[in-house]
Amino acid sequence: MTVALVTGVAGQDGSYLAERLLGEGVQVHGLVRTPDRLDVLPAGLHLHAGDLADTVAVAELVRETRPDEIYNLGGISSVAASWERPVETGAVSGLGAVGLYDAAWRLQEEIGRPVRVLQASSAEIYGSPDRAPQDEGTALRPTSPYGVAKAYAHQMAAVYRARGLGVSACVLYNHESPRRPETFVTRKISAAAARIARDGAGTLALGNLDARRDWGWAPDYVDAMVRAVRHPEAGDFVVASGRTRSVADFVAAAFAAAGIDDWGAHVEVDPRFVRPADPAEQVGDPRRAREVLGWGGTLPFEEIVRRMVRHDLAVLGA
């Protein structure tokens, strides 16, 4: 039986990944830092409490579970949080990832069979990119503590790959679902649209409405990660839709899905929600993921927003 270890299993991507792997008959071990949001996790999952920054304990977990596949989805989950906790971000999302690579490499050396690793990298490693769209060869120019930590982990994946560890990095652009917490702007928007539709009134405060992002559907990006970790040749893969939309576009689509035409009457710009550094545009080139991994791409933008709003309307009983 295939054994998998998933860090950050209680997050959006981790929960979708656990469902998929368990459905395939994989024995899944999940690392969780806190007991929050465990209600989204499927039955049959072996949970382990721990912190990625505790590299000694993580190495012991790897030795204990002896996984065939390791998916590193854990870490500080947002750019905004990384500005509040920059040192912790480096320790968890940067050094923690390297500790996991090293534990996987040592296990591989001990047992004499391959251990495959997937690093959930991020478009934030490109920061303010020098070209668009960005591909696997684009220069790393991170502009936030989150981006810097992810860039370090991304580059160290290549170092361990050269050492003989099959570690692939998926450079994930923004990907959404109803499992996003409301601390993320997309879920904040979809939940607000649902509440305003139910109540007939209300206001949504946002930051930069002109900021553009490349948005996809989280389960589709999980599929790319599984394909990458199982591909015979490890490498880097940009996972993106290849198209950008503005925050204002997301707002308009969400309010339309909730049956509200005049979204401008319900939205205000609040400087508190403007990032210290907000790149004008990040758009990924997913051609390598499509050609090498056979990845089928992602849902259309409008359908992603519709699914999120429908979920939030259902939660409210609207």
Query: Active-site positions?
Result: 122, 124, 146
Residue with token string 């450079």: 171
**Per-residue tokens: 35:** 């007991």
Nearest of 90, 31, 93, 29 to residue 58 by alpha carbon? 31
- What's phi and psi for 142, nearest 5 deg? -65, 150
Contact 51, 74 (CB under 8 A): no
**Per-residue tokens: 297:** 């791409």
Ramachandran sector of residue 112 (left: φ over 0; alpha: ψ -120 to 50; beta: rest) = left
**Per-residue tokens: 240:** 């993106």
Give the separation between CA 273 and CA 287, rounded to whole angstroms: 33
Give the separation between CA 16 and CA 244, rounded to whole angstroms: 24
Nearest of 52, 90, 91 to residue 70 by alpha carbon? 52
